[in-house]
Structure 1
Amino acid sequence: MSDRFEGKVVVVTGGTSGIGLAAAQAFAAEGAAVFVTGRRQAELDKAVKAIGHGAVGVRADMSSLEDIDRLYDAVQQRHAQIDVLFANAGGGSMLPLGAITEAQYEDTFGRNVKGVVFTVQKALPLLRDGAAVILTGSTAGATGTAAFSLYSASKAAVRNLARSWTLDLKDRGIRVNVISPGPVRTPGLVELAGPDAAQQQGLLDGMASQVPLGRVGDPAEIARAVTFLASDDASFIAGTELFADGGMAQV
Structure 2
Amino acid sequence: MAVACAVSLATPTVARATEPEGPEPSTAETSEELNAQAQKHAVKAIEHFNNGAYIDSEEEFRRVAFFAPNWRPLHFNLAVLAEAQGKLGTAVSEYKSFRPHGSPDEQMIVDQRLDELGRRKLKISGAYKRQIALSSGAMILGVGSLGGAAALFAIMVRNGKRADQYNEAADMAQAMLGSNGGMNDAILQQQATDFREEATSLTKRRTGMLYGGVYLAIFGLLLTAYSIIPLRNAIKSKRQLDGINLGKTKLQWNGGAGATLRF
> Do both proteins adopt the same fold according to a TM-score greater than 0.5, normalized to the shorter chain?
no
The structure where strand makes up a greater share of residues is 1
Q: Which has the larger radius of gyration?
A: 2
